[in-house]
């Protein structure tokens, strides 16, 4: 997962510094007194279970785990355009984790992005979303974390340039882009819709990837879920601009979010894979609520693209397809088991940019241990840039009625350099 601050964020710092200086009072936050680590018996099993659910929806383990042997022990380096920010050890180890954090200190980190010592956190930690979490859910998350196995693990330092290295600078960023506000239900919507909206916004932080960001690295609040960019992948629009060829139904979206595969739309292959692995562990009704919230914003009727037609310039790609892909993707392909959707239905093939199609071909689809699921091998080492470019132009022309993608060659080169899973 990636910090949603972009290059132009440097500009933010320049603007933010004077703002910050003039508001020096906002920059100072007190340290919170340490506590004796709470005993597991202090927390009820129901509260811990709810915390586990919130931790899964909030992807805490995705960022805060570097080695699967040591969940929540931190050390994963989150790439940002400025440098690397380490997700910290949030196991209850007293020396290197959050073992002596009080619940009040934890609440402040979640709500205000300030650590136990009073230092500002970087928004690589999604506190701009967690700030809306209810007291009950923050309490549950605290109970869950405090009952994990303590792991002693010192963190590699962040690698950030000046002035970003200086945490008080984040007070300026907060002033510009961060609003601490409690969650409010929309009384015009159903209970299920509101539950889904809350889980998606305050816990699941779907917008951190699926909403575009402005030049200064803040989410563009006027364009919620209009599509964003993360680790070399496009995170597609989840509202009216969805590129799905057939409209998503609540049923299908629930299925996709829990399995990473939709028979009607394609499969998760990039950063969304981890999100779906976490959602696979939470009660189905929560995922269904999230799906209800998003489907209500998506188109109801299919976009009917003009029928695709083959043309000369894609002949070379056609040969690559026949050799490398047709065994699985031609109609009636022998290797297709679980009613794999035609590429014509794939959101990736119908997307406005070729980026995710290129990433899918380069990196394939990951094997899901213990589950029958889609598997597609990576072609990174098999296809050269020319073959990949021809192939991508071909699948667009053959399977989508959308206009030809303009920048396939540049995107191909770009994708080789960054991204993947």
DSSP 98: S
What binding mask, one character per residue, do residues 355-394 give for ligand HEC by CB under 6 A, x or -?
A: -xx--xx---x--------xxxx-x-----------x---
Residue 140 within binding range of ligand HEC, rule CB under 6 A: no
Least Cβ distance, residue 355 to ligand HEC (angstroms) = 9
Q: In this structure, are strands 83-86 and 233-235 parallel, antiparallel, or unpaired?
A: unpaired
Which residues, numbered 189-218, are part of the site for ligand HEC (CB under 6 A)?
200, 204-206, 208-210
Q: How far apart are alpha carbons 74 and 62 in whole angstroms?
A: 10
DSSP letters spanning 27-43: H--PPPPP-PPPPGGGS
Which residues, numbered 39-98, are part of the site for ligand HEC (CB under 6 A)?
55, 58-60, 62-64, 78, 85, 87-88, 90, 98
Backbone phi, psi, residue 314, to 5°: -105, 10
Residue 141 within binding range of ligand HEC, rule CB under 6 A: yes
Residue linked to tokens 């598997």: 375
Residue 60 · residue 84 · CB < 8 Å:
no
Residue 147 within binding range of ligand HEC, rule CB under 6 A: no
Least Cβ distance, residue 113 to ligand HEC (angstroms) = 8
* Binding-site member from 82, 198, 294, 405 for ligand HEC (CB under 6 A): 294
What binding mask, one character per residue, do residues 306-345 give for ligand HEC by CB under 6 A, x or -?
A: ------------------xx-xxx-----x----xx-x--
How far is C-alpha 68 from the geometric centre of its chain's CA atoms? 19
Residue 271 within binding range of ligand HEC, rule CB under 6 A: yes
* Binding-site member from 230, 289, 397, 415 for ligand HEC (CB under 6 A): 230
Token pair recorded at residue 227: 């599509």
Q: Based on the number of CB atoms within 10 Å of its own CB, is 70 exposed (0-12), middle (13-18) or buried (19 or more)?
A: middle
Residue whose beta carbon is closest to ligand HEC = 266
* Binding-site member from 5, 125, 202, 408 for ligand HEC (CB under 6 A): 125
Which residues, numbered 93-112, are part of the site for ligand HEC (CB under 6 A)?
98, 106, 109
Burial profile 151-165: b = 16 or more Cβ within 10 angstroms, e = fewer: bebebeebebeeebe
């Amino acid at each position: 997962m990636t910090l949603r601050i972009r290059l132009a964020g440097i500009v933010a710092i320049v603007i933010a510094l004077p703002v910050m200086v003039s508001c020096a009072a906002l920059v100072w936050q007190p340290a919170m007194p340490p506590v004796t680590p709470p005993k597991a018996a202090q927390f009820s099993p129901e509260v811990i279970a709810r915390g586990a659910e919130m931790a899964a929806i909030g992807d805490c383990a995705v960022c805060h785990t570097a080695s699967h042997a040591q969940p929540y022990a931190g050390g994963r380096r989150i790439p940002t355009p400025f440098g690397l920010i380490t997700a910290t050890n949030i196991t209850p180890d007293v020396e290197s984790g959050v073992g002596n954090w009080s619940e009040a200190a934890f609440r402040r980190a979640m709500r205000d992005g300030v650590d136990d010592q009073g230092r500002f956190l970087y928004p690589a930690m999604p506190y701009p979303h967690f700030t809306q979490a209810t007291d009950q859910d923050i309490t549950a998350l605290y109970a869950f974390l405090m009952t994990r196995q303590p792991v002693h693990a010192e963190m590699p330092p962040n690698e950030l340039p000046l002035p970003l290295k200086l945490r008080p600078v984040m007070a300026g960023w907060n002033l510009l882009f961060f609003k601490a506000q409690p969650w409010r239900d929309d009384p015009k919507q159903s209970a299920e819709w509101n539950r889904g909206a809350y889980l998606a916004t305050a816990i699941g932080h779907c917008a951190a990837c699926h909403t575009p960001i402005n030049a200064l690295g803040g989410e563009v609040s006027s364009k919620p879920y209009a599509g964003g960019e993360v680790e070399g992948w496009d995170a597609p629009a989840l509202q009216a601009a969805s590129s799905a060829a057939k409209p998503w139904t609540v049923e299908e979206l629930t299925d996709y979010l829990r399995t990473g595969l939709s028979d009607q739309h394609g499969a998760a292959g990039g950063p969304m894979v981890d999100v779906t692995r976490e959602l696979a562990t939470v009660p189905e009704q929560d995922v269904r609520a999230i799906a209800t919230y998003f489907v209500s914003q998506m188109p109801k009727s299919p976009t009917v693209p003009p029928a695709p037609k083959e043309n000369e310039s894609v002949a070379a790609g056609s040969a690559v397809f026949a050799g490398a892909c047709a065994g699985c993707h031609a109609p009636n392909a022998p290797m297709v088991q679980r009613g794999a959707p035609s590429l014509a239905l794939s959101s990736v093939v119908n997307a406005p940019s070729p980026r995710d199609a290129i990433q899918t071909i380069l990196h394939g689809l990951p094997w899901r241990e213990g589950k029958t699921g889609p598997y597609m091998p990576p072609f990174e080492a098999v296809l050269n840039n020319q073959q990949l470019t021809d192939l991508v132009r071909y699948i667009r022309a053959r399977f989508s009625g959308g206009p030809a993608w303009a920048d396939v060659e540049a995107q191909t080169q770009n994708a080789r350099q960054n991204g993947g899973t």
